[in-house]
Each structure stands twice: as C-alpha cells, then as structure tokens.
C-alpha cells in the first residue's frame, strides 16, 4: 500500500496540465486481491476511517435506542403525532447504522455492535425524560451533535475515500431533516 490517492494530481507536461491516472496505483490494485474492494488509494487512512465509522455506528445505535424509548413512553402523552415521528426517526437511525456497518465491512474492518461500551463510543447521549418537550429537546441536541460529527468526518475524509464520503453526506442530509422536524415541535 505505497501508492496514495494524494499522488493523483494533474500532471504538467509541455506547459499543459493533463489529467492522467497514476499507473503505479493501478498496478498495485491489480496485485492485492485479498483486499477486496479496498484499493491502494485508501493508503494509510483506512484504519482511521474505520474508527470514525465505528464511532458513528455507536452513535446511530444510541440514537435508535433513545428514539425507541421516547416512542413507547410518549405514547400516552398529548401528541401521538410526535411519538410517531420518534418511531420514524428510530427506523431511519437503524438504516444509517446498517449503511455504516456495510461500509466498514467493505473497507475490511469489523463493525462494532458491542453493547458494553456503546455510550462511551457514541457522540450523542441516551435520554429517559418523561416530559414530551424534554424528549424533543434531547433529541434535537443529539441530532445537532450528529450533524456536527458527520460534517467534521466529511471534511476530514475529503477526497481520501469518496464512497464513504457519499454515504456520510446522504446520512448527514437526513440528520438535518430530523433536526428541522424536531425544531418545529419545540415550543419556545
């Protein structure tokens, strides 16, 4: 894994800038069949990216659990519509966790579903509020934390792994929708 994506830059020849591929990277991709879809362009970043994705996976699982808790305990409260929204978010956080786990495996890593240190690895918190507005508030805080974490991950990854970046961008836009929806329910 010596070739790096960073080496793929427009090449200057005869005073002209040319867009050409790095042949060494292509040759290395041909050689290491054991790495599956992981090609040398991931270079030294693969392990860091897997760690970032595993922390995001822990966050999604905690968010799913928090929304489930809120869905079941908010049921008897004033707004069934808000409880339904919590359920939809729980399902979408579950889908996010599956996308992240799938990408971790594609990168040759192991998705960490261990419950033992889930909260330590998660960026967002669990919450057992009984009051509906307190639930909405804690979910909004968690969504804002998730938005910040995904934005930072996307900036860090940049062009080092475009597939992972696209996965994260799609998740980020859904977290922004979640935050928007929660803001609408929040009474000032």
Residues 30-69 that bind Fe ion (CB under 5 A): 60
Strand locations in the chain (E): 11-13, 16-18
Angle of helix 80-106 relative to helix 162-185, nearest 10 degrees, comes to: 170
Residues 134-153 that bind Fe ion (CB under 5 A): 143
State the number of binding residues for Fe ion (CB under 5 A).
6
Does residue number 85 form part of the binding site for Fe ion (CB under 5 A)? no
Q: If you write DSSP's letter for every residue of 133-188 in order, what string do you get?
A: HHHHHHHHHHHHHHHHHHHHHHHHHTTS-HHHHHHHHHHHHHHHHHHHHHHHH---
Residue that is written with structure tokens 């998705």 in the block: 111
Q: Could you say which of 93, 112, 127, 161 contacts Fe ion (CB under 5 A)?
A: 93
Q: Which of 23-31, 48-56, 150-158, 177-185 is the region at the interface with Fe ion (rule: CB under 5 A)?
A: 177-185
Q: Which of 77-85, 107-115, 152-160, 168-176 is the region at the interface with Fe ion (rule: CB under 5 A)?
A: 168-176
Does residue number 123 form part of the binding site for Fe ion (CB under 5 A)? no
Alpha carbons 1 and 176: distance in angstroms, whole number: 37
Tell the smallest beta-carbon distance from residue 16 to Fe ion (Å): 46
Sign of the four-CA dihedral 178, 184, 187, 188 = positive
Does residue number 112 form part of the binding site for Fe ion (CB under 5 A)? no
Q: Could you say which of 46, 96, 103, 160 contacts Fe ion (CB under 5 A)?
A: 96
Give the residues lining the site for Fe ion (CB under 5 A). Answer: 60, 93, 96, 143, 175, 178
């Amino acid at each position: 894994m010596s070739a790096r994506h960073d080496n793929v830059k427009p090449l200057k020849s005869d005073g002209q800038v040319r867009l050409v591929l790095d042949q060494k990277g292509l040759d290395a991709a041909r050689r290491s069949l054991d790495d599956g879809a992981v090609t040398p362009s991931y270079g030294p970043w693969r392990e860091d990216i897997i760690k970032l994705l595993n922390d995001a996976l822990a966050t999604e699982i905690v968010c799913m659990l928090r929304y489930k808790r809120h869905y079941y305990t908010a049921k008897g409260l004033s707004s069934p519509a808000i409880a339904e929204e919590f359920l939809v978010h729980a399902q979408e956080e579950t889908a996010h966790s599956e996308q992240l786990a799938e990408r971790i495996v594609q990168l040759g890593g192991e998705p960490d579903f261990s419950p033992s240190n889930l909260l330590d690895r998660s960026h967002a918190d669990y919450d057992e509020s009984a009051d509906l507005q307190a639930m909405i508030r804690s979910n909004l805080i968690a969504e804002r934390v998730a938005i910040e974490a995904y934005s930072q991950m996307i900036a860090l990854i940049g062009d080092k792994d475009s597939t992972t970046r696209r996965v994260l961008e799609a998740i980020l836009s859904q977290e922004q929708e979640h935050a928007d929806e929660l803001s609408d329910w929040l009474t000032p």
